[in-house]
C-alpha cells in the first residue's frame, strides 16, 4: 500500500519555514541556503534533521538530502522515496499555487555516479542569495559512504557552515491542532500506563513486601505498553517509549532524563518514576514521586514542590521570556524556603514535540527565547539530596522529590496540563502504619526485622479498605455538588425556555371541492348511487336525496355485512370524541359544528326482473374502491409525515481520486429495500456514500454525524460502523437518525448432524480460519477509520465502546450489552440500536433498588424536559456500583429509590410549573434521605407515587403503542384491512347476547336470595334471631354496585 503524504500540511509548514527565514531573525539572517542531510543510523533516536523530515512529510526518509534555496527546493533520494515525494512535486506551477518554491527531485544511484546530482545541488546553493553561507544542523553526523561523499563535496567548495538548530527548533516548536491532538493522545497513554500499571504494581510490591530491582520494574513498564488495555484505545504499533523508564529509590537519586534505572532493589521510601511515551512520533513526559509512610517534614517539602509547580504553570504564558519564568519560581523559593535553593533542579523543563528534549528551549536563568501559544513543554521540578531526620538506615536518610508534567502554553492564564495524573500527598502517599505501631517499633527494632512484614501487609490492606470507604464518601460529596449545579442550571434553562410557547398543530382540513361546478356529472350520482371520485379522493353519497361529498380523510372505517336478503354498508366518520390515534385527539378546525358520526346503506341481494345486476353490487364496488383510495391516501400521508422536519442536507462533494478510503461487502441497517443488500462504503470530501449492488445510494455528511462508533468483533458476531446523526435523513421512504454498516464474522449456524469432538480437525481448522478472518476484518476497518480521520483532519473521530464498563439491560424488548463510549452510552449490535448522548442527560435515577431484588431499572432524564425519559429495565444488581462509578467520573448526577415512579406525570408537572418545582427543592425529592425542603417535595410527590406506576401492564401497553407508532403506515393499513363490524359501539355485543346475560344474572340473584332466606329460617329454629341478621337478608351485599335492582323472571 502506497504511503500517503499530507500535501496541505507540507505546504503550510514549508511556507512557515521560508517565512521565518525571510524575516532574517537571529541565525537565519546569516544564511544563504539550508542543507539537511539524513543518513542511516539505528542508534540515533532524536536528531534535528529527522525531526524536520517528520514535521514536513510525516515520515523519516533515510539517505536523503534536502536543499532549500531562495527560489527552489531540491530533494535527492532513492527511487522509492522520490515516488513518495512526487505527491508534493507533481505540478510545475505549485510554487504559485502554494506560495513556496518549486521542487526538483533527484534520484540517488546506488553506485558512484552521484556526482552529477551533487553538482546540480552545489550549483543551486551557489545561486541562492550570496551563495557563501549554508545553514546546517552541526550536531547531526550520520555515518555511511553516501553521507561522507556529500560532505566531502561541500567541504571542497569551501562553504561557510552556520548552525541553525536553535532557530529551526523555534520555528517548529509552535504546534498545529493536528500535532496537539497527537501530543494529547501521547500524554493520555502515559497517564494511563502510570495509573493502571506502574502505580498498581508498586502497591502490590509494597503489599507483598517483594524485592524487585529498579531495572526489572522499568522493563515491565516497557512490556506493559504492548498490552492494549493500558493504551486508552491507541494501536500498540504506533506507541513507543521516549526513553527507558527511570525508577530511583533508596538514597541514590539523579534527577536527569539521561540516567538509567540501576539494579538496586526498590526501597520503600521516596520512589521517583519518570516515563515518557511517544505516539505517532510525538513525545510526552510524566514524573511522579510515590512515598511510602512519608514523615511530616517530607510531606511539607512535597507540598511546597507542588506549590512551585503551580507557580511555574502560571508563569508559562504567551510572550514571556523563559529566563523570566525561571526567575519567578526562584523568587518563591528565596522568600519561603531559601534553604532549598541549592537543592532544586538546575532547569525547570524544556520544549518537546517530535524531539523529546529541545536543547535550545530550556527553562533556565539564561534563555532569552519568548514563549508562544501552542508550544508544548515538559516541566520538571525537583529537590535532591534532602535529609530525612527520622531515617535510621543509610538508604532512608537521603531522599529526593521530583514531579513533572506535559503542558501546553496558552494565550493568557496558566498553561494547560496534558498529563492528568493526580499528585497530591493523599494520591501518591502509601501509608502503612498508625502512631501506636510506630511507638511499638521504636521499642522493638529487632522484632520489626523478624515480624514486620506480615504486620506491614495487614496494615496496607486496612489502609486500602479505608481508602475504599473514603472513595464512596468522595463519590457522595461529588454527587452533592452536582445536585446543586443541576438544580441551578435546570432552573435557569427552563425559565429561558418559558417564553417559547408551543404551537398546537391544527388538523389539516381536507376540502373535496372548492365549488359545486367541480362535482362530477356522472350517471351514478343522478341515480343516487354511491360514487367514488378518485381524482379528488372523495366519496359522493346520497343523503336525504342529495348527493353529498365526503373527503376520504373524514372516513374512519367502513364495514360490509350480508344479513338475509340485504347487504349493509356502514361508514363511520371521524368526529370529536372519537380516537384519532396518538397526539391527534380533538384537533378539528371547528369542533362546535354538527358532525355525522355514521351512515348505513342497505341494498337488496335479489335481482329484480329486467335488471342485469343485483342492487347490492353498487355497495360491494363502493366498499372495494373506498378501501383502495383510503389505503393510497394513508400511505401518502405517512410518507409526508416522515418527511416533516427533515433538514435539507448539503450535496455530497465526490472525490474522483481512486485512493479514497473504501470498505467493500458491507450490509446497511436499516435495509434500503425489503431484502438486505451488500454494498460498499466510500469516504469523499465532505461525507460518506454507501452504494448497494443494485445501485441505491445513501449519503451521510460528516457535519451531520453526532457520534461515529466503531464496534469491533471481540465477543460479537458482527463488526459495525455506526453513525448516530444530528438530523434525520430519508431513505427507503422512512426517516432515520441511526445508520450502520456491518459485516458478519464467522458462522452463526452449527452442523448438528456431525458428531461433536473437541479435537476434531475440521472444527479446529474452522476456528483457526474464523480467528484469522476476525483479525483481517478488524485490521481493514481500523485502516479505513484511520484514513477517514486523517482525511477529515481529526474532525470526525470514531469512538470505540469500552467493553469492560459494559452492563446488561433491556432498553427495548430484549436484553443486550450496553457499553459506554467517551461521550455516549450505546448498543450497536442489536437492532434497533440504542444511543444516548451523555451531554444531553440531566440525571439518572435507579428504580427498584432493594436488597431482595436481583435486578433494578435505570431511568435517563434529559435536559430537554419535553422529551420522553428513557428506561433501561432488568439491569443486574451487581452492575450498580460500576455504573455509579462511571456516572460519577462523567460528572453525571444519579439518584436511587425503591419505588417505580410515573415519569410522564412527573415531567408534565415540572414543565407546567418549573418555578414551583425548583422552589420545593427541585430534583432533591429523588434523594433517599430527604433533608429540609426535600421532605415537603416528598409529600407532594408521594401523591404522584400513590397513584402510579407499579410497573403495570398499562404502562407497557402504552410503550408498545408508542413504539408501534413508528411504523404507522403498516399499522394503520392492517387496522382498516380487518373487516370490523363498524364503530367502537357496534364492536360490542348484540341484543340477543345482552338478553342472555341478563337472564343469567337474574337466575344467580334469585338463587342467592333463596339461600339467604333458608339461612334465616334455620336461625329462627335454633334460637332468638338477631335483628341485624334479618336486616341483612334484605340489604344489598356490600360487594355489589349500588345500581337499580335487577328484574326477576316470572
* 1031 φ/ψ angles, rounded to the nearest 5 degrees: -65, -35
| Sign of the Cα pseudo-torsion (880, 885, 891, 896, in order) | positive
Give the CB-side neighbour count of residue 444, counting CA atoms within 13 A: 9
Q: What pLDDT shows up at residue 939? A: 39
Alpha carbon 982 to its chain centroid, in Å, reads 51
Largest CA distance in the chain: 145
- The C-alpha R_g of the chain, in whole angstroms, comes to 41
CB burial of 320-349 (b: ≥16 within 10 Å; e: otherwise) equals eebeebbeebeeebeeebeebeebbbebbb
Q: Name the residue among 661, 743, 671 with its Cα closest to residue 702.
A: 661
Neighbouring C-beta atoms of residue 187, cutoff 10 Å: 28
Question: Which tens digit of pLDDT belongs to each residue from 681-727?
Answer: 999 989 999 999 999 999 999 999 999 999 998 888 899 999 999 99
Q: What pLDDT shows up at residue 961? A: 43
Those residues with Cβ within 8 angstroms of residue 905's Cβ, 6 or more apart along the chain or in another chain: 944, 947, 948
Q: What pLDDT shows up at residue 1034? A: 39
Look at the block and give the residue holding cell 520544549: 351
What is the pTM (predicted TM-score) of this model?
Answer: 0.48
Q: Taking a C-beta distance cutoff of 8 angstroms, is the pair 633, 553 a contact?
A: yes
Instruction: Provide the grid cell at 418.
Output: 496534558
Q: What pLDDT shows up at residue 801? A: 94
Compute the distance between CA of residue 121 and CA of residue 65 in angstroms, rounded to an integer: 10
Query: How would DSSP label each residue in 823-876?
Result: SEEEE-SSSS-EEEEGGGEEEEEEES--TT-SEEEEEEEESSTTSPPEEEEEEE
Compute the distance between CA of residue 103 and CA of residue 125 in angstroms, rounded to an integer: 14
Q: What pLDDT shows up at residue 1014? A: 56
Q: Which long-range contacts (CB under 8 A, 24 or more apart) does 306-309 make?
A: 306/403, 306/423, 306/424, 307/332, 308/332, 308/333, 308/381, 309/379, 309/381, 309/403, 309/405
Those residues with Cβ within 8 angstroms of residue 785's Cβ, 6 or more apart along the chain or in another chain: 710, 721, 798
Q: Looking at residue 36, what DSSP letter applies?
A: E
Strands 816-820 and 807-809: antiparallel
Compute the distance between CA of residue 395 and CA of residue 265 in angstroms, rounded to an integer: 11
Q: What pLDDT shows up at residue 1013? A: 60
Q: What pLDDT shows up at residue 734? A: 85
Q: What pLDDT shows up at residue 747? A: 60
Query: How would DSSP label each residue in 15-27?
Result: HHHHHHHHHT-GG
Compute the distance between CA of residue 834 and CA of residue 936 in angstroms, rounded to an integer: 36
Q: Name the residue among 401, 425, 416 with its Cα closest to residue 313.
A: 416
Q: Taking a C-beta distance cutoff of 8 angstroms, is the pair 872, 809 a contact?
A: yes
Compute the distance between CA of residue 887 and CA of residue 881 in angstroms, rounded to an integer: 10
Instruction: Kindly report the length of the chain.
Output: 1050
pLDDT beneath 70, residues of the chain = 1-2, 90-98, 111-113, 433-471, 497-509, 578-587, 642-645, 746-759, 929-989, 1006-1050
Residues linked to residue 572 through DSSP beta bridges, in sequence order: 557, 598
Amino acid at each position: 500500500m502506497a504511503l500517503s503524504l499530507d500535501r496541505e500540511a507540507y505546504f503550510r509548514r514549508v511556507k512557515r519555514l521560508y517565512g521565518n527565514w525571510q524575516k532574517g531573525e537571529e541565525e537565519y539572517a546569516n544564511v544563504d541556503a539550508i542543507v539537511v542531510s539524513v543518513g542511516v543510523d539505528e542508534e540515533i533516536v532524536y536528531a534535528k534533521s529527522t525531526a524536520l523530515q517528520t514535521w514536513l512529510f510525516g515520515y523519516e526518509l533515510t539517505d536523503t538530502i534536502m536543499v532549500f534555496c531562495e527560489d527552489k527546493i531540491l530533494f535527492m533520494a532513492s527511487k522509492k522515496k522520490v515516488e513518495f515525494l512526487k505527491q508534493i512535486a507533481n505540478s510545475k506551477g505549485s510554487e504559485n499555487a502554494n506560495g513556496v518554491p518549486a521542487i526538483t527531485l533527484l534520484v540517488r544511484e546506488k553506485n558512484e555516479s552521484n556526482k552529477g546530482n551533487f553538482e546540480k545541488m552545489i550549483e543551486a546553493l551557489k545561486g541562492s542569495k550570496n551563495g557563501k553561507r549554508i545553514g546546517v544542523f552541526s550536531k547531526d553526523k550520520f555515518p555511511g559512504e553516501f553521507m561522507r561523499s556529500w560532505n566531502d563535496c561541500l567541504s571542497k567548495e569551501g562553504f561557510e557552515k552556520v548552525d541553525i538548530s536553535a532557530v529551526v527548533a523555534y520555528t517548529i516548536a509552535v504546534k498545529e491542532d493536528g500535532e496537539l491532538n497527537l501530543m494529547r493522545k501521547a500524554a493520555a497513554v502515559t497517564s494511563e500506563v502510570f495509573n493502571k500499571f506502574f502505580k498498581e504494581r508498586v502497591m502490590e510490591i509494597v503489599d507483598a513486601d517483594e524485592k524487585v530491582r529498579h531495572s526489572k520494574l522499568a522493563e515491565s513498564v516497557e512490556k506493559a505498553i504492548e498490552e492494549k488495555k493500558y493504551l486508552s484505545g491507541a494501536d500498540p504499533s504506533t506507541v513507543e517509549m521516549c526513553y527507558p523508564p527511570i525508577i530511583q529509590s533508596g538514597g541514590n537519586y539523579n534527577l536527569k532524563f539521561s540516567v538509567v534505572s540501576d539494579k538496586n532493589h526498590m526501597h520503600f521510601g521516596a520512589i521517583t518514576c519518570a516515563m515518557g511515551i511517544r505516539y505517532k512520533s510525538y513525545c510526552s513526559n510524566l514524573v511522579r514521586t510515590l512515598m511510602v509512610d512519608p514523615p511530616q517534614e517530607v510531606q511539607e517539602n512535597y507540598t511546597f514542590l507542588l506549590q512551585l509547580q503551580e507557580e511555574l504553570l502560571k508563569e508559562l504564558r504567551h510572550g514571556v521570556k523563559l529566563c523570566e519564568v525561571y526567575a519567578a519560581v526562584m523568587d518563591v523559593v528565596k522568600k519561603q524556603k531559601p534553604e532549598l535553593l541549592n537543592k532544586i533542579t538546575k532547569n525547570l523543563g524544556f520544549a518537546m514535540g517530535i524531539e523529546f528534549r529541545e536543547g535550545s528551549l530550556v527553562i533556565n536563568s539564561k534563555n532569552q527565547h519568548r514563549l508562544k501559544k501552542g508550544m508544548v513543554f515538559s516541566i520538571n521540578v525537583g529537590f535532591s539530596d534532602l535529609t530525612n531526620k527520622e531515617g535510621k538506615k543509610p538508604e532512608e536518610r537521603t531522599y529526593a522529590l521530583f514531579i513533572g508534567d506535559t503542558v501546553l502554553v496558552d494565550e493568557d492564564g496558566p498553561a494547560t496540563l496534558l498529563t492528568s495524573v493526580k499528585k497530591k500527598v493523599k494520591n501518591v502517599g502509601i501509608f502503612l502504619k498508625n502512631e501506636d505501631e510506630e511507638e511499638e517499633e521504636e521499642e522493638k527494632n529487632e522484632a520489626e526485622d523478624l515480624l514486620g512484614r506480615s504486620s506491614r501487609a495487614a496494615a496496607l490492606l486496612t489502609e486500602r479498605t479505608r481508602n475504599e470507604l473514603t472513595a464512596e464518601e468522595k463519590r457522595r460529596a461529588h454527587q452533592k455538588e452536582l445536585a446543586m449545579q443541576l438544580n441551578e442550571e435546570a432552573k435557569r434553562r427552563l425559565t429561558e425556555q418559558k417564553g417559547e410557547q408551543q404551537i398546537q398543530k391544527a388538523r389539516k382540513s381536507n376540502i373535496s371541492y372548492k365549488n359545486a361546478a367541480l362535482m362530477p356529472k356522472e350517471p351514478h350520482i343522478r341515480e343516487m348511487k354511491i360514487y367514488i371520485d378518485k381524482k379528488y379522493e372523495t366519496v359522493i353519497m346520497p343523503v336525504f336525496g342529495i348527493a353529498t361529498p365526503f373527503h376520504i380523510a373524514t372516513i374512519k372505517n367502513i364495514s360490509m355485512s350480508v344479513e338475509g336478503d340485504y347487504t349493509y354498508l356502514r361508514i363511520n366518520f371521524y368526529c370529536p370524541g372519537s380516537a384519532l390515534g396518538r397526539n391527534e385527539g380533538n384537533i378539528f378546525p371547528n369542533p362546535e359544528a354538527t358532525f355525522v358520526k355514521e351512515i348505513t346503506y342497505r341494498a337488496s341481494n335479489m335481482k329484480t326482473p329486467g335488471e342485469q345486476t343485483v342492487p347490492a353490487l353498487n355497495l360491494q364496488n363502493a366498499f372495494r374502491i373506498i378501501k383502495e383510495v383510503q389505503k393510497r391516501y394513508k400511505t401518502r400521508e405517512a410518507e409526508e409525515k416522515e418527511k416533516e422536519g427533515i433538514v435539507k442536507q448539503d450535496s455530497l462533494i465526490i472525490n474522483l481520486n481512486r485512493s479514497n478510503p473504501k470498505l467493500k461487502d458491507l450490509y446497511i441497517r436499516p435495509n434500503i429495500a425489503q431484502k438486505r443488500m451488500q454494498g460498499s462504503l466510500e469516504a469523499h470530501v465532505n461525507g460518506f456514500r454507501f452504494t448497494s449492488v443494485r445501485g441505491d445510494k445513501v449519503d451521510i455528511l460528516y457535519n451531520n454525524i453526532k457520534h461515529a462508533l466503531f464496534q469491533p468483533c471481540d465477543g460479537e458476531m458482527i463488526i459495525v460502523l455506526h453513525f448516530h446523526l444530528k438530523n434525520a435523513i430519508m431513505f427507503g421512504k422512512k426517516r432515520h437518525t441511526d445508520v450502520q454498516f456491518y459485516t458478519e464474522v464467522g458462522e452463526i449456524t452449527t452442523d448438528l448432524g456431525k458428531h461433536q469432538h473437541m479435537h476434531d480437525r475440521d472444527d479446529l481448522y474452522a476456528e483457526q480460519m474464523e480467528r484469522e478472518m476476525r483479525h483481517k476484518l478488524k485490521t481493514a476497518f481500523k485502516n479505513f477509520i484511520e484514513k477517514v480521520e486523517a482525511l477529515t483532519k481529526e474532525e470526525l473521530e470514531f469512538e470505540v465502546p469500552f467493553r469492560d464498563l459494559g452492563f446488561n439491560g433491556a432498553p427495548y424488548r430484549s436484553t443486550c450489552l450496553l457499553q459506554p463510549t467517551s461521550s455516549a452510552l450505546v448498543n450497536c449490535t442489536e437492532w434497533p440500536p440504542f444511543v444516548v448522548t451523555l451531554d444531553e442527560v440531566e440525571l439518572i435515577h435507579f428504580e427498584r433498588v432493594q436488597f431482595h431484588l436481583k435486578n433494578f431499572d435505570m431511568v435517563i432524564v434529559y435536559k430537554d424536559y419535553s422529551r420522553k425519559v428513557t428506561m433501561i429495565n432488568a439491569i443486574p444488581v451487581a452492575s450498580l456500583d460500576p455504573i455509579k462509578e462511571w456516572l460519577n467520573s462523567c460528572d453525571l448526577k444519579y439518584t436511587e429509590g425503591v419505588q417505580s415512579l410515573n415519569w410522564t406525570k412527573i415531567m408534565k408537572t415540572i414543565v407546567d410549573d418549573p418555578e414551583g418545582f425548583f422552589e420545593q427543592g427541585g430534583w432533591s425529592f429523588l434523594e433517599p434521605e430527604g433533608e429540609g425542603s426535600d421532605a415537603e417535595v416528598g409529600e407532594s410527590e408521594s401523591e404522584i407515587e400513590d397513584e402510579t406506576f407499579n410497573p403495570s401492564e398499562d404502562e407497557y401497553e402504552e410503550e408498545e403503542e408508542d413504539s408501534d407508532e413508528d411504523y404507522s403506515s403498516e399499522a394503520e393499513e392492517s387496522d382498516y384491512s380487518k373487516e370490523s363490524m363498524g364503530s367502537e359501539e357496534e364492536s360490542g355485543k348484540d341484543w340477543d347476547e345482552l338478553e342472555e346475560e341478563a337472564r343469567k344474572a337474574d337466575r344467580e340473584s334469585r338463587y342467592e336470595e333463596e339461600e339467604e332466606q333458608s339461612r334465616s329460617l334455620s336461625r329462627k329454629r335454633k334460637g332468638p334471631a338477631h335483628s341485624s341478621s334479618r336486616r341483612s337478608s334484605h340489604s344489598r351485599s356490600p360487594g355489589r354496585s349500588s345500581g337499580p335492582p335487577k328484574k326477576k323472571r316470572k
